[in-house]
Amino acid sequence: MPAVDQRELRNILGSYATGVAVATCRDAAGQRAAMTINSFASVSLSPPRVLWSIGETSDQFAAFSEATHYAINILSDEHRALSTHFATSSPDKFAGIDSYDGIAGLPLLPDCCALLQCKIVERVRTGDHVILIGEVLDAERADRGPLIFHRSAYHALA
């Protein structure tokens, strides 16, 4: 089999439009951590489970490796700046950002399309990522348009 060019594979995968979310948690010391993600998916309705994956080279990897819970904050089309903020490395991701506490102290972001608060039930190492499978403990949604990412650019539904 010929090797797949990583840059071309990234371009091909970018052809799949996704929603944009921010995963949040508290590490073992109780410090807040967060990162922008688009690798989020439903796993099961019974029991209610979702997953997302984090790269081992992420500056947030240690925090999510220690966490017992995570939240998925599904961003609205008004959150482009928030998405960019949480995608950038920073010693304090929450500096100047409004948030409130949820289950197990999870940092939650206001005005999202939806929020899912999850307890981590399984971690699966694959390649250079770890898949975090969470059981949904609480979920809510709001009537807001979603932020979409496609071919390296943000979009909103018409």
Q: CA 138, CA 117: separation in Å to the nearest integer?
A: 5
Beta-carbon-side half-sphere exposure of residue 3 (alpha carbons within 13 Å) = 3
Structure tokens at 150: 């496609």
Q: Can you name the residues that pair with 30 across neighbouring β-strands?
A: none
Q: Is the pLDDT of residue 90 over 80?
A: yes
Q: CA 68, CA 63: separation in Å to the nearest integer?
A: 10
What is the per-residue pLDDT for 10? Answer: 87
Q: Is the pLDDT of residue 39 over 90?
A: no
3-state helix, strand, coil in the chain (%, to 5): 15, 45, 40
The pTM assigned to this predicted structure is 0.93
Contacts with 149 (C-beta within 8 Å, 6 or more apart), sequence order: 17, 18, 19, 20, 38, 155
User: For 111-122, what is each residue's pLDDT tens digit?
Assistant: 999 999 999 999
Residue 108: pLDDT band with limits 50, 70, 90:
very high
Contacts with 62 (C-beta within 8 Å, 6 or more apart), sequence order: 27
Q: CA 136, CA 157: separation in Å to the nearest integer?
A: 27
